[in-house]
Structure 1
Amino acid sequence: MTVKEEVAGPLLLATRPFQPAWLVACPTTRAILGVEAQKAASVYKHHESVKKRAKGTKIKEETINKVGDVSRLLAFQPQYKAQLKARPDVAQGELVRVTDWKLLTPESYDRTCFHIEVDVAGTGLEHLVNGSQGKALSVYATNDAEKVDAFLQKMNLDPNEIVSVEEIAPGDEGTVVLTTVYKLFTQYLDLFGKPSREFLKKLFPFAEDVLEKVAIAELTLDRKSEEFLDRQARAFTFADYILEFPSLKIPVSKYAELLPTVKQRVYSICSSSDYHPGKCQLLVVREDWQAKGGDTKFGLCSSYLTFLRPGTVCVAHATHSVMQIPEDKSAPVYMAGLGTGLAPFRAFIEQRKHEKTQGARVGPMTLFFGGRHAHAEYYYRDEFEKFEAEGLVKCCNAWSRDQKQKVYVQHKIMEEADSIWANLGREGSKGFFFLCGSKQPEKDVFAALLKIFETKGGLSNQEAHKKMESLQLAGRYVTEVY
């Protein structure tokens, strides 16, 4: 996968002075234009300057003319209220720079898990991304540049053509979005996403060949459900359907009506911004699955983050999460993290570490972490062992494949039955229990807590269920599973 660094966003421009509009600057434009060019006294002189700079390059004449149009708006930026924007359709989105990336699993392992850090100092995110305070990070991926280039070439679309895209414009009257075709397909449209039948209903009118028009339309019918579902199982994308039918003639301005935009992907933040000022860190696993036919497919955003490196930028904003450490710093906290569900609990422990450093009296913390193999999936091992040595947290790890008999987090939870009953179940207790990660073990963790209440507290099964319900209502049993 190729990730291009220039995620330079739209320019907020106008069709005439004092009427704002949006424009995404194409890489060619940004390379040609100089600071002095933006200060040109007239449109004519400015355009001539652009042509002079382009002389001797491989840039086509029509591209130079388009650059001239963009240059006109840039040259009179104050009058046209031009601004650069990362994603005009995401008002709260900001560009943040990657400052660290580390692979956490062995290179030969069958799972790719990594740590990534972005710099939020001086941005609107700086005080909104504390992973211990109910915050997550929404990230907007971009499509694979090489795959986009191949698609544009097959569809005979000029990547440097400037188009207006009303569908992703802000709601202000008189505002339009101008962008290059390349930026439209790379940063905005979910070209390689999973289509629905509604997409096919919109697509078939663009087919010029009657047989192809019928073939597309039939895929929307109930009698073709099996074939459509088979295509879904084979992970057909919007691009696959469009390229399958050669007679499709889709005006570039219509793609924004046909295709959805790339949506946010939400990641738990694995750091405390009090412990790491100006930084936001994520624990990410690259999602992959086997499609019907045997092809390995990868998640868009997790793959995008997999190939980012320090110095590159991405679009992100803060999002709410239910994972929030108790306000009472002395309250006992139990945390069950499954895989990358460990993320918010690293932030919890860092927050308590920070508070302890500031002189606060902090309560006991117990971490139940589940994975397959300790050598490959004990993320941040050195950190947790250090925190445990300091007495900040007790680590109860369950490695399901490291011994003959499988061990899961619910088994480790049962080993702490006395402590859990005293701090979570007993009348007057003030402890909290948090669970984050895969949905599958949720029922087993719930059952383990019920059993503890029954065996250690002498509650009936019905009473144990009521106890769990009361803990949930009080916000003392919190889950975030996916």
Structure 2
Amino acid sequence: MSTFPQFNIPPELLQELSKYATPTGLADYAALAVLGGVGATYLSRGLLWDKPDPYHHLWFERPQLKNGGQLRSANKETRNIAQKLEEAGKNVVVFWGSQSGTAEGFAHRLAREISIRWGQDAMTADLSDYDPVTISEIPNAKLAIFVVSTYGEGDPSDNTAEFWSWISKATDVSLSNLRYAAFGLGNTNYKFYNRVVDVVVEGLDKFGAQALMPVGKANDAEGATEEDFMSWKEDLFKIFKDKLGFEEAEAKYIPSLKVEEDESLEPIDLHHGEPNSRIEAPKAAAQSSAVRTLSISESRELFTASDRHCLHMDIDLSSQPELGYKTGDHLAIWPGNPDIEVERLLDVLGISSRRDIPLGIKALDAAEKITIPTPTSSIALFRYYLEICAPVNRDNVRDLAQFAPTPEAKAYLLNLGQDKETYASFINRTHINLGRLLQLACPNKPWSNLPLSYLVETIPHIKPRFYSISSSSVVSPRKPSITAIVSTSPLPDNPNELIHGVTSNYLLAISQQARSQPHPGGITYHLNGPGDALEGGKVFAHIRRSKFKLPLTGKTPLVMVAAGTGLAPFRAFLSERCQVLKIGKEVGPMILFFGCRNPNEDYIYREELEEMQQALGERLQIVTAFSRLEGSPRQYVQDRVAEFGEDVVKLLDEGGNFYVCGRAGMAREVEKAVGLTMKDVKGWNDDEVNNWSKAIKKKNKWQEDVWG
């Protein structure tokens, strides 16, 4: 039965209305056609047009769930840090905010040493795992320590975002019960050196928190981060002893993890090296895709010098329809460790013959988070999950002495680890990793007393390396490309021995394999990957969203400054601008500043740039700087920016965007050069330049993609 209301309309009225409802001319029919089209278009939305991306949810997917993992929220763990401390029976919490993993590593080291050396039960806490306001509930009897990094233009790490927002904006908060210490990681090559820890401490103090000691700061500009941390840590421990009355005990390893063999498991049950791509912060989850197996469709050498290498690689997304990228995004590569270092560590530990035996990893401490997929094996640990090529920090050198197979090896490590100057001299000469150190300290006996749990707890875990995508998503939507310089540097005291960057040399080995040639340095890798998943020239990779973007309109002027492989995103920008011009749209004026050593050796993409310049005509000006051109004085991009300063200012005054990509030190010098030009051209003072700089960055008209 119909549920619509019934109306009794007189026949005479219907007849009269029909006169007006009947089309009488061409205009009426046209109007009806338009209205009908609009209606049909609206009704077909989501069916024929504006269809939702069926894979959109995968950008927000936490990949670890695919392998039977569980999110912390799925375990219904509390987000109240005070409650967590009480439940776990902890007296100290070390909060960490980390982008690259260094601050996270420091936090774990510190918590472990506080527990072992000072008898205070300590735990680490990812800042994104707890509601910031619950910090106010931590009682005065407990301690909070913050270890946070700064990157980019004074930005917090992804997992610090929620806490950063709260500490910056909260009102009516009391932290009068909170006793804390703080340590920041930064780099003076960046303009806003250690801004994040400064803001955190300012907020804590504003709300009445009690600082145990002055804030500590690490400066990575000269590689001093490790020693800066250790120096601050010793000052903290003096506070523990002198002010808090903690009693120091002999430092002896107490495992928080259990790593044991379990031969009942089958190979199919194991994680053989697939990346652990857990993304903990919501902000990070929104910025990164899931890790996928992607093919390298093409690879070519960009340098002409035989002793240096720079790779251009095209990555094929066709097998993964849910993946996509936008111009300016980053592509992350998950590397494997070289065979020689994997075999060295297996041999020195005396477990080479048991490399494939299944290993189970279990937490002995309720507050400990297992971040390596389990069950696994020793070969997978050393090949794919642990950074075994990294130099051994001084804390670990000293701690390793307790596991030494001989008194001589123990004395050697204690001498090396207890003296700052001795260690610094040694590490600068050798850049020694764990396997080499153990081999050197005791060459004739295996380190059978060194438990795998110690290595899993103390060696940094492998993280992906990010590369700026050097292709345009408009021109090449299914084949993003990356540009990777292969890192190989000689030891200061032994030029014949080289330090090989892990990921770039891994990529070089893949490139050489495609040509049926060995790696130039003789390094080999297990390129087929776990379970032969990477056979045929594939990599584990994912895409990360970036804010380093072209303006919405092609008419906006651009100033682009790059050195070396910093040219990568600008190749993409110019390629897109050429395409915009090709389809008949207007393109604004552009200047590209590019610096390298020598035009005959490392001027990457030179022919392509010349072709794009020809296509764009007067719209593009390319200005080069060569630092090692024989017979000519050294020039750097900042010098050329100053030389063409008036042209730069003109484009900025016309609403142009300014981009810098390369090393942080270069970016800082470029900003100085632009500031000096502003003073000369506009007659500004320092305050006016600073105010202009803040304003243009706030509007995203000045963007940087920098490192180191």
Q: TM-score range by the shorter chain?
A: 0.7 to 0.9
2:329 is aligned with 1:102: no
Name the residue aligned to 1:118.
315
CA distance in 2, matches of 1:166, 1:12: 17
Name the residue aligned to 1:405.
633
Deviation at 1:369, TM superposition (A): 0.6
- 2:593–2:624 CA contact under 8 A, matched in 1: yes
Deviation at 1:208, TM superposition (A): 4.1
CA shift in 2, pair 1:447/1:292, >3 Å: closer
2:593 is aligned with 1:394: no
After the TM superposition, which of the residue ranges 381-390 and 413-422 deviates more from structure 2? 413-422
Name the residue aligned to 1:423.
651
Deviation at 1:281, TM superposition (A): 1.0
Q: Equivalences for 1:201-350 in 2 at 5 Å? A: 201-221=398-418, 224-233=419-428, 234-243=430-439, 244-245=441-442, 246=445, 248-249=447-448, 250-252=450-452, 254-294=454-494, 295-309=497-511, 310=514, 311-350=536-575
CA distance in 2, matches of 1:125, 1:218: 54
Deviation at 1:88, TM superposition (A): 3.2
Deviation at 1:352, TM superposition (A): 2.1
CA distance in 2, matches of 1:229, 1:125: 48
- 1:209–1:247 CA contact under 8 A, matched in 2: no
Name the residue aligned to 2:334.
140
1:173-193 Cα offsets, whole Å, 9 max, x none, are: 9x9612232222111111121
SS in 1 for 2:510: coil
Deviation at 1:282, TM superposition (A): 1.0
- 1:166–1:176 CA contact under 8 A, matched in 2: no
CA distance in 2, matches of 1:125, 1:172: 30
2:581 is aligned with 1:385: no
Letter in 2 for 1:349: L
CA distance in 2, matches of 1:218, 1:304: 35
Deviation at 1:230, TM superposition (A): 2.0
After the TM superposition, which of the residue ranges 114-123 and 195-204 deviates more from structure 2? 195-204
Q: Equivalences for 1:158-237 in 2 at 5 Å? A: 158=353, 159-166=355-362, 177-221=374-418, 224-233=419-428, 234-237=430-433
- 1:131–1:269 CA contact under 8 A, matched in 2: yes
SS in 2 for 1:446: helix
SS in 2 for 1:323: coil
CA shift in 2, pair 1:172/1:153, >3 Å: closer
Letter in 1 for 2:633: Q
CA shift in 2, pair 1:89/1:271, >3 Å: closer
Deviation at 1:86, TM superposition (A): 2.2
CA distance in 2, matches of 1:339, 1:417: 21
Deviation at 1:111, TM superposition (A): 2.9
1:17-61 Cα offsets, whole Å, 9 max, x none, are: xxxxxxxxxxxxxxxxxxxxxxxxxxxxxxxxxxxxxxxxxxxxx
- 1:331–1:432 CA contact under 8 A, matched in 2: yes
CA shift in 2, pair 1:125/1:307, >3 Å: farther
Instruction: State percent identity of aligned pairs.
Output: 23
- 1:165–1:256 CA contact under 8 A, matched in 2: no
CA shift in 2, pair 1:202/1:123, >3 Å: farther
SS in 1 for 2:570: helix
Deviation at 1:385, TM superposition (A): 0.8
Name the Cα RMSD after superposition.
3.3
CA distance in 2, matches of 1:473, 1:176: 41
SS in 1 for 2:659: strand
CA distance in 2, matches of 1:434, 1:176: 39
CA shift in 2, pair 1:288/1:279, >3 Å: same
1:391-447 Cα offsets, whole Å, 9 max, x none, are: 1532112223335233332343345444322221x3xx3111111112333343223
CA distance in 2, matches of 1:117, 1:143: 22
Larger relative contact order (C-alpha < 8 A, sep ≥ 6)? 1
Deviation at 1:383, TM superposition (A): 1.2
- 1:99–1:117 CA contact under 8 A, matched in 2: yes
Q: What is the TM-score normalised by the length of structure 1? A: 0.74
Name the residue aligned to 1:475.
700
Deviation at 1:306, TM superposition (A): 1.7
CA distance in 2, matches of 1:85, 1:144: 14
After the TM superposition, which of the residue ranges 177-186 and 249-258 deviates more from structure 2? 249-258
Deviation at 1:303, TM superposition (A): 1.4
- 1:203–1:258 CA contact under 8 A, matched in 2: no
- 1:333–1:431 CA contact under 8 A, matched in 2: yes
2:266 is aligned with 1:70: yes
Segments of structure 2 that go 5 or more residues without pairing to the other structure are 1-63, 70-261, 280-289, 515-535
Which of 88, 96, 99 is equivalent to 2:276? Answer: 88
- 1:421–1:457 CA contact under 8 A, matched in 2: no
Deviation at 1:194, TM superposition (A): 1.4
1:101-132 Cα offsets, whole Å, 9 max, x none, are: 11111142x4321212221234377323x342
- 1:125–1:317 CA contact under 8 A, matched in 2: no
Letter in 1 for 2:558: V
SS in 2 for 1:324: coil
CA shift in 2, pair 1:361/1:166, >3 Å: farther
CA distance in 2, matches of 1:338, 1:176: 39
Q: Which has the larger radius of gyration?
A: 2
SS in 2 for 1:376: coil
- 1:289–1:298 CA contact under 8 A, matched in 2: yes
- 2:349–2:446 CA contact under 8 A, matched in 1: no
After the TM superposition, which of the residue ranges 268-277 and 330-339 deviates more from structure 2? 268-277
CA distance in 2, matches of 1:278, 1:296: 37
Q: What is the TM-score normalised by the length of structure 2? A: 0.52
CA shift in 2, pair 1:361/1:301, >3 Å: same
CA shift in 2, pair 1:372/1:209, >3 Å: closer
1:201-236 Cα offsets, whole Å, 9 max, x none, are: 543332343443344345443xx2222222221201
- 2:349–2:447 CA contact under 8 A, matched in 1: no
Letter in 2 for 1:104: L
Name the residue aligned to 1:434.
659
Deviation at 1:387, TM superposition (A): 0.8
Deviation at 1:252, TM superposition (A): 4.3
CA distance in 2, matches of 1:374, 1:450: 29
CA distance in 1, matches of 2:337, 2:671: 40
